[in-house]
Amino acid sequence: MSKFLKIFLPALSATGATLTLAYVVADQFVVDLPAPLRGAMIQPAQAQDSVEPAIAQAETEPALTAPTGGFGLGRLATVEEVAAWDIDIRPDGQGLPDGSGDVWTGEEVFVENCAMCHGDFGEAVGRWPALAGGLNTLERDDPVKTVGSYWPYLSTVYDYINRAMPFGHAQSLEPDEIYAITAYILYVNDLVEDDFELSRDNFLTVEMPNSQNFYLDDRAETELPLFRQSPCMSGCKESVEITMHASVLDVTPDTDEPAAETSESTVQEVTAELEVAEQEIAEPEAITEVTSVDPGLVTAGEGVFRQCSACHKVGPGAANGVGPHLNGVVGRAAGAVEGFRYSGAISDAAEAGLVWNTEELSAFLADPRGYMNGTRMAFRGVRSDDDIAALIAYLSTLAE
């Protein structure tokens, strides 16, 4: 501390000392810069014309400001670096790359990359977002907000597909593919004909049906005056009735504790929880059927599996989702899960006799599309061989 003071003491001006004192008194909860440094950098806080006297912190901590010309930190970005990251698209078309794509190409690309979640016609699978339909539903009790019925700008569609889709394999599509998918989404919303081709040149000519129905936050006019009235404190109403119970719907997730705590219970309310507890007990039994697998590897594999779990379900009662359930997958014939609609590529491989043994699965998981050209699995692959081994060890514990 004494060394610190010796170095900085000359810089400690009278202004700095006053500010420091005022600051410490005013706000004891906030740790700040060393006082001498603060004296050199802090400029007086701007006058506040606030009508909010109760706000203590904002007024007592002087605003930090930058020195003229900045601190000289960082370095200039190269043109290539900015180009690599600056991929955003605006409604005025700023950022759109060269390229084009038509509806028919779009259908192919969409079915290949998007339909497993959004449905072949954008109607959605499960709780994944619907992209089409919903026109004239926005005033109804259950509005259907899709690209066609709700989104105000087409640029948002291009931007979002480009930066975030396909889910789990972002930024993997080429501009022509994105133009084509965007054209197809317009087509399934009946906004263009089937011979339509979208390109940077005609992008701004597409008007979205709901574009005029958004307006700026108006709470300051429509709500704040109403909600700034002094409320009643006593005898405010004659009687009170309950008009709705959450228990009628009962959609609250199970919040209870491990099975040991509840299994001794005879209380009726916890029956549902007991059913869950029984399921939890059933799982380890399945795991013990395979005894040759390293438990540490299985645990690691369970962790790796999280990146698969959005599309593939496992465990007792697992159903097909975006992908087939994976119970018993290790050693099973490819394309054999009942009720799952496989890609042509997997079906062909199944007919040729492919079996998901460790070797085949390892190759598939390392590079799904490289291994199985035409698979619908939109997944980049597992990069590390250790992770693949762990994942297969985990999958091998899952009984049929």
Partner 1 sequence: MVENIGMKPSRRGFLRTALAGGGALAVGSTAARAEGDPVILEPRPWNQFLGEGVDARPYGFPSEHEAHVRRQDVPWLTADPISSVNFTPLHELDGIITPNGLCFERHHGGIAEVDPAEHRLMINGLVDRQIVLTMQDLMRFPRENHVYFLECAANTGMEWAGSQLNGCQFTHGMIHNVMYTGIPLRLILAEAGVKPSGSWILVEGADASGMTRSIPMEKALDDCLVAFKMNGEALRPEQGYPVRLVVPGWEGNMWIKWLRRIEVGDQPWHHREETSKYTDLLADGRARRFTWEMDAKSVITNPSPQAPITHGPGPTVLTGVAWSGRGTIPRVDVTLDGGINWHDARMSGPSFNKSMHRFYFEFNWDGQPMLLQSRAHDSTGYVQPTKNQLREIRGENSIYHNNGIQTWAVDKDGRAENVEIS
Residues 258-277 that bind partner 1 (CB under 8 A): 258, 261-262, 264-267, 270
Q: Are 395 and 301 in contact (CB under 8 A)?
A: yes
CA atoms within 13 A on the CB side of 289: 13
Total site size for partner 1, rule CB under 8 A: 113
Cα(80)–Cα(251) distance, rounded to whole angstroms? 51
Q: Which is nearer to partner 1, 92 or 359 (CB)?
A: 92
- SS3 category, 339: coil
State the DSSP string of 157-189.
HHHHHHHH-STTSTT-S-HHHHHHHHHHHHHHT
- The answer to whether residue 8 forms part of the interface with partner 1 (CB under 8 A) is no
- The answer to whether residue 7 forms part of the interface with partner 1 (CB under 8 A) is no
- The answer to whether residue 221 forms part of the interface with partner 1 (CB under 8 A) is no
Restricted to residues 11-50, the positions that interact with partner 1 (CB under 8 A) are: 29-33, 37, 41
For residue 211, CA distances in Å to 132, 158, 208, 340 come to 16, 16, 6, 39
Task: Among 98, 108, 223, 386, indicate the residue that binds partner 1 (CB under 8 A).
Answer: 223
Cα(43)–Cα(65) distance, rounded to whole angstroms? 7
- Minimum distance, C-beta of residue 123 to partner 1, in the bound complex (Å): 14
- The answer to whether residue 352 forms part of the interface with partner 1 (CB under 8 A) is no
- The answer to whether residue 217 forms part of the interface with partner 1 (CB under 8 A) is yes
Q: Which residues does 138 contact at the CB level (< 8 Å), separation at least 6?
A: 145, 149, 150, 210, 213
Q: How far apart are the first and last CA of the chain?
A: 68
- The answer to whether residue 319 forms part of the interface with partner 1 (CB under 8 A) is no
- The answer to whether residue 310 forms part of the interface with partner 1 (CB under 8 A) is yes
Type of residue found at 333 = A
- Minimum distance, C-beta of residue 357 to partner 1, in the bound complex (Å): 28
- Minimum distance, C-beta of residue 329 to partner 1, in the bound complex (Å): 19
From the list 221, 214, 176, 168, the residue with the least C-alpha distance to 197 is 176
Cα(296)–Cα(298) distance, rounded to whole angstroms? 5
Restricted to residues 187-206, the positions that interact with partner 1 (CB under 8 A) are: none
Cα(367)–Cα(249) distance, rounded to whole angstroms? 45
Stretch of 87-95, 287-295, 341-349, 365-373 contacting partner 1, by CB under 8 A = 87-95
Cα(61)–Cα(206) distance, rounded to whole angstroms? 50
Task: Among 76, 260, 319, 352, indicate the residue that binds partner 1 (CB under 8 A).
Answer: 76
For residue 41, CA distances in Å to 22, 24, 63, 235 come to 16, 17, 10, 56
- Minimum distance, C-beta of residue 306 to partner 1, in the bound complex (Å): 8
Q: Which is nearer to partner 1, 213 or 288 (CB)?
A: 213
- The answer to whether residue 317 forms part of the interface with partner 1 (CB under 8 A) is no
Beta bridge partners of 355: 333
Show the binding pattern over residues 89-108: x = contacts partner 1 (CB under 8 A), - = does not: xxxx----------------
- SS3 category, 323: coil
- The answer to whether residue 66 forms part of the interface with partner 1 (CB under 8 A) is yes
DSSP state of 355: B
- Minimum distance, C-beta of residue 104 to partner 1, in the bound complex (Å): 26
- The answer to whether residue 353 forms part of the interface with partner 1 (CB under 8 A) is no
- Minimum distance, C-beta of residue 233 to partner 1, in the bound complex (Å): 5
Q: Which is nearer to partner 1, 332 or 380 (CB)?
A: 380
Show the binding pattern over residues 135-174: x = contacts partner 1 (CB under 8 A), - = does not: ---xx-x-x-x-x--xxxx-xx--xx--xx--xx-xx---
